[in-house]
Amino acid sequence: MKSMKWLGLLAALVLAGCASAPTVRTESAPGVDFGAYRTFSFATPLSTDRAGFHTLVSQQLVFSTRRELEVRGLQFVADPAQADLLVNFHAHVAEQLRVRSTPDPWVGPTYWHHRRGFYDPWRGHPRWPSHSRIEVDQFTEGQLNVDVIDRRLNMLVWEGVASKRLMQRTMNDLGPALDDAVHRMFRTFPLGPSL
């Protein structure tokens, strides 16, 4: 019974290791005093909104980003014209193909194997026959951008980008993946969480 418990724990750890985190990159505009900003709002319309309505993706991103900025001491204002900072999002999902040629593992002796590269039977004849295979990997990749804009200067002052290979289970329940990506981006935001 005890070994079954350990086996279950091991399986849970392996599955947790398979859940890959997004690749995150952030960048701040040089010379910007983020301590001077007090308020924020969201761009209208957001780039993630479609056909005139507030999408579920936008709703999750607004919730997650608002939490991250408020925890850093910034205050949300409903009117974008009154905010120091405006936040906008862009999300993109694309099918990707990765093609690579890899050598086949040695599959046993060939007709020319006995020569082992010591000599050519005639000029121009290959010493070792070339065996390789083409691997094609098709996958879905998602990318999320969070832009923070100085409203008065109309200038991008901070950008967070997260990209990740998306599995079907992630596509079926995007909320937690979006929340995790936003949280990871804001770890390097110039303002740290207020205590």
The answer to whether residue 180 is domain-embedded is: yes
The answer to whether residue 51 is domain-embedded is: yes
- The confidence score (pLDDT) of residue 53 equals 85
Q: What is the pLDDT of residues 93-133, one digit of tens each?
A: 666 556 677 776 655 555 555 555 555 555 555 555 556 67
93: containing domain: 21-97+140-186
- CA dist 84 and 105 (Å) reads 60
The answer, yes or no, to whether residue 146 has pLDDT greater than 90, is yes
The answer to whether residue 3 is domain-embedded is: no
The pTM score is 0.67
The answer, yes or no, to whether residue 56 has pLDDT greater than 80, is yes
Closest C-alpha among 181, 184, 147, 182 to residue 46: 147
The answer to whether residue 42 is domain-embedded is: yes
Q: What is the pLDDT of residues 177-190, one digit of tens each?
A: 899 999 999 999 99
How many domains does the chain contain in total?
1
55 phi, psi to nearest 5 deg? -70, 165
- Percentage of the chain beyond pLDDT 70 is 64
The answer to whether residue 124 is domain-embedded is: no
The answer to whether residue 55 is domain-embedded is: yes
- CA dist 184 and 40 (Å) reads 20
Residue type, 114: H
For 98-110, what is the HEC assignment? EEEEEECCCCCCC
Q: What is the pLDDT of residues 66-96, one digit of tens each?
A: 999 999 999 999 999 999 999 999 988 666 5
Terminal CA-CA length for the chain: 46
95: which strand partners?
140
CATH number at residue 30: 3.30.160.670
The answer to whether residue 158 is domain-embedded is: yes
The answer to whether residue 2 is domain-embedded is: no
Q: Please state whether 147 falls in left (phi above 0), alpha (psi between -120 and 50) or beta.
A: beta
Instruction: Identify the three-state secondary structure at position 145.
Output: strand
